[in-house]
Amino acid sequence: MRRKEDFHSTPTQDFLAFLQEETHQEPKPLSRAPVQGWIQIAFWGLRIYIVVMLVMVGIGFARGIH
C-alpha cells in the first residue's frame, strides 16, 4: 500500500526549518584518538586479556580432543 505523502506544493516555513535542522545532522569528521595515558594502559590490558583467554581456550579444546 502506498502511503499518502505529507508534502505541500509550495515549501512552508516549517518544512524549510525542518530541512535546515536535518542538514545539520551530518556526521562530523572523525579523527584518530590519541592513545596515551589510561587508554594506552587499557589497550595493553585488553591485549593481555585476549592472549590469556585464547591460551586457556586452546588448552581447553586440546584437552577436549584427547
The yes or no reply on residue 41 touching another protein (CB under 8 A) is no
Give the amino acid at 6: D
Q: DSSP strand E in the chain: where?
A: none
Q: CA 66 to CA 58: how far, in whole Å?
A: 13
Q: Which of 40, 41, 44, 57 is the binder for another protein (CB under 8 A)? A: 57
Among 40, 44, 48, 50, binds another protein (CB under 8 A): 50
Residues 6 or more apart in contact with residue 21 via CB below 8 angstroms:
none
Residues that bind another protein (CB under 8 A): 5-12, 14-16, 18-23, 25-28, 30-33, 35, 39, 42-43, 46, 49-50, 52-57, 59-60, 63
